[in-house]
Amino acid sequence: MKKLAVVAFGGNALLQAGQKGTIDEQERNAYESGERLVSLLERGYNLVITHGNGPQVGNILLANQAGNKMFGLPEMPLDICVAYSQGFIGYILEQQLRNVLQLHDLDRDIITIITQILVNKDDPAFSNPTKPIGPYYTKNEAEIIMKESSSKFAEDPKGRGWRKVVASPKPLVISNKKSIERIARDGQIVIAVGGGGIPAFYIEPNKLQGIDAVIDKDLASALLASQINADKLFILTDVPKVCLNFNTPQERTLDRVTISEARKYLEEGHFAEGSMAPKIRAAIHFVEHSGKDAIITKSTLLGVDDGGTRIVMV
């Protein structure tokens, strides 16, 4: 039986910092991201791909607001915007990955599954928004927007500006996980849990409803990976390895980390919220619930021996 890997791309796999977000840019980025997956296919992995949507869902919200202000179009809630992003990002990834597979003479179906995830409407995250979405602003721009609306902003830990932050509740139950696993183990490539999944809750017994939030993509990916019995979780970011004392003279890269060491580093504040901290928590969750390894690395090192930081049980 082939091994099964869940590969979690960040939102910057399609839309990178400094880009406008044109379709040409996103298609080119998606193609390059798809190229990184070939090494895993050649190593005998079946694949489930998950992806972020921070830049894209923020832009969808901005377009909604502009349409409402200029033309009176009804604004869509955040869960609907997440669903929008799942559809168009899945389409772009699917199309460009198919182009990559054809170039390498690989024949796989690629299926995008719109994925809802159950959350608790009383999750404390709703009173403490932390998930960054959308474009970067200057501090002055962010302050003006906050005065004119109910939006909340936070400074980017890497100093790139200020971004809107929204609630990010804990994912509890992933819809269609059995189908996701079955299709992937059959040898096809599945794109699922886009943007962390569409957050929903039971407004009453047997009646689901969306809720205004964005689920952390890495934590949702870790939950999915553990529930479909994946052999490996790859969490892709914009640095080759996890670091202690990041961006300081005392910076030290980590090659192999146990989950107890990872928890210790988290408590010591080595990993920034909205950046590396959620990825570490996601890796811990997967390793703890599966007994398998998680790898945090840059997409260019995907499938490279000793590439990235490996999080292990002991």
Catalytic annotation, residues: 11-12, 131, 217, 279
State the virtual CA torsion across 131, 63, 88, 3 in degrees, nearest 10.
-10
Kindly give the interhelix angle for 23-42 and 78-103, rounded to the nearest 10 degrees: 60
CA–CA separation, 11 and 58 (whole Å) = 11
Q: What is the 3-state secondary structure (H, E, C) of the chain?
A: CCEEEEEEECHHHCCCCCCCCCHHHHHHHHHHHHHHHHHHHHCCEEEEEEECCHHHHHHHHHHHHHHHHHHCCCCCCHHHHHHHHHHHHHHHHHHHHHHHHHHCCCCCCEEECCCEEECCCCCHHHHCCCEEEEEEECHHHHHHHHHHCCCEEEECCCCCCEEEEECCCCCCEECCHHHHHHHHHCCCEEECCHHHCEEEEEEECCEEEECCCCCCHHHHHHHHHHHCCCCEEEEEECCCCCEECCCCCCCEECCEEEHHHHHHHHHCCCCCCCCHHHHHHHHHHHHHHHCCCEEEEEHHHCCCCCCCEEEECC
